[in-house]
């Protein structure tokens, strides 16, 4: 008994140490990002490094976020483009994924299984394989240097996981519910709209967050498809900022921080749904 107690305690201690290490590993880079962003350029390169600057300044943030100066105007432009592209991708993605997932879950048309797996297999393909032909395709349709090229491409990143997650949700909703509604005189669409959709809200929220974050963070296609400065999204804008002001680390960190805040906050608020959706949808399945 005594040994097993000590065994448990040792295990418990190891667990706390491990968690402390993980927390430091994940959080410190972000803390350092913020800490640097509120230093002056001179303070940022002082050694030994200081976590809490003696004279914090928010100059970098005011520069980046005020439309009064060229840097700020540029940066706000990137921000606006990212919001637009990510939002459009998210809305379109949900609109397309919901009926597809529903059909894969409920109907038994010929070719259902192969089609479902062909959708999933998208996850397996290297991004670069599509980059070259898509670039040529977009050029052919005159879509290079438009937001539409990005929205179309991002759609396909999100769709497989969205469909997979949502299908798992629909599988878990007993069809008897719809059948009961149909008997009571509801159309197939009404049954879906009034019964199924509300029950699958966590799945919808999860797939929407996923699509939004993907669009917000995507870099390779944004870099390749967009040439005009006024159409660039945040990740590419950040790279541009880095190459232009290479030694301004506080500025770069402030820009990175502003870029990270929306998705981190969005995700932290809604991550419960996300984990639940994975549990209900993907994994249980």
Partner 1 sequence: MAIAEAPALAGRREPVAIPARETLGHRITRHWADYLYVLPALLVMLIVIGYPLIYTVWLSFHATPPRTGEWVFNGTQNYQDILSGPRFWRVTMNTIYWTVGSTLFAFILGLGAALALHNPFRGRGVVRALLLIPWVVSAVAAAYVWRWILHSDYGLVTGMLKSWGVIDRPLILLDSKSYVMPTLIAVNVWKEFPFVMVMLTAGLQTVPEGLLRAARIDGASTWNQFWHVTVPHLRGVILITTLLLFVINLNSFTLVWLMTGGGPANASQLWITEIYNIAFRSLQFGMASAFSVILFIIMLALGYFYVKALTANAPRREG
Q: Which stretch binds partner 1 (CB under 8 A): 58-66, 69-77, 197-205, 216-224?
A: 216-224
The answer to whether residue 89 forms part of the interface with partner 1 (CB under 8 A) is: no
Judged by beta carbon, residue 11 or residue 68, the one nearer partner 1 is 11
The answer to whether residue 159 forms part of the interface with partner 1 (CB under 8 A) is: yes
| CB of residue 199 to partner 1, shortest distance in Å | 12
Judged by beta carbon, residue 50 or residue 66, the one nearer partner 1 is 50
| CB of residue 185 to partner 1, shortest distance in Å | 19
Q: Which of 83, 171, 245, 248 binds partner 1 (CB under 8 A)?
A: 171
Q: What are phi and psi of 243, to 5 degrees?
A: -70, -30
- Rounded CA separation 222/236 (Å): 7
- Rounded CA separation 100/127 (Å): 23
Cis bond upstream, residue 48 (ω within 30) = yes
The answer to whether residue 232 forms part of the interface with partner 1 (CB under 8 A) is: no
Binding to partner 1, residues 3-62 (CB under 8 A): 7-8, 11, 15, 18-19, 22-23, 25-27, 29-30, 32-33, 36, 44-45, 47-49
The answer to whether residue 103 forms part of the interface with partner 1 (CB under 8 A) is: yes
- Rounded CA separation 22/235 (Å): 27
Judged by beta carbon, residue 25 or residue 52, the one nearer partner 1 is 25
Q: Which stretch binds partner 1 (CB under 8 A): 55-63, 70-78, 100-108, 196-204?
A: 100-108
| CB of residue 73 to partner 1, shortest distance in Å | 21
The answer to whether residue 283 forms part of the interface with partner 1 (CB under 8 A) is: yes
């Amino acid at each position: 008994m005594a040994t097993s107690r000590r065994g448990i305690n040792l295990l418990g201690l190891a667990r706390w140490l491990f968690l402390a290490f993980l927390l430091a590993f994940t959080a410190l880079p972000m803390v350092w990002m913020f800490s640097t962003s509120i230093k002056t350029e001179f303070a940022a390169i002082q050694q030994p490094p200081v976590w809490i600057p003696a004279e914090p300044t928010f100059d970098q943030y005011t520069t980046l976020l005020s439309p009064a100066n060229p840097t700020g105007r540029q940066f706000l432009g990137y921000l606006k483009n990212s919001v637009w592209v990510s939002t459009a991708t998210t809305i379109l993605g949900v609109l397309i994924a919901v009926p597809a997932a529903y059909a894969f879950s409920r109907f038994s048309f010929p070719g259902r299984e192969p089609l479902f797996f062909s959708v999933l297999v998208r996850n397996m393909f290297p991004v670069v394989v599509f980059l070259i032909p898509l670039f040529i395709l977009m050029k052919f349709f005159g879509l290079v240097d438009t937001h539409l090229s990005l929205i179309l491409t991002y759609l396909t990143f999100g769709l497989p996981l969205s469909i997979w997650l949502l299908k798992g949700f629909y599988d878990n909703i007993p069809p008897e519910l719809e059948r009961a509604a149909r008997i009571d005189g509801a159309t197939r669409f009404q049954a879906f709209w009034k019964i199924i959709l509300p029950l699958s809200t966590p799945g919808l929220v999860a797939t929407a967050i996923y699509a939004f974050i993907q669009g917000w963070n995507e870099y390779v296609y944004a870099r390749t498809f967009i040439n005009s400065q006024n159409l660039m999204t945040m990740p590419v804008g950040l790279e541009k900022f880095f190459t232009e002001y290479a030694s301004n680390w506080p500025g770069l960190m402030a820009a990175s921080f502003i870029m990270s805040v929306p998705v981190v906050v969005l995700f932290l608020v809604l991550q419960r749904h996300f984990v639940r959706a994975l549990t209900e949808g993907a994994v249980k399945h």
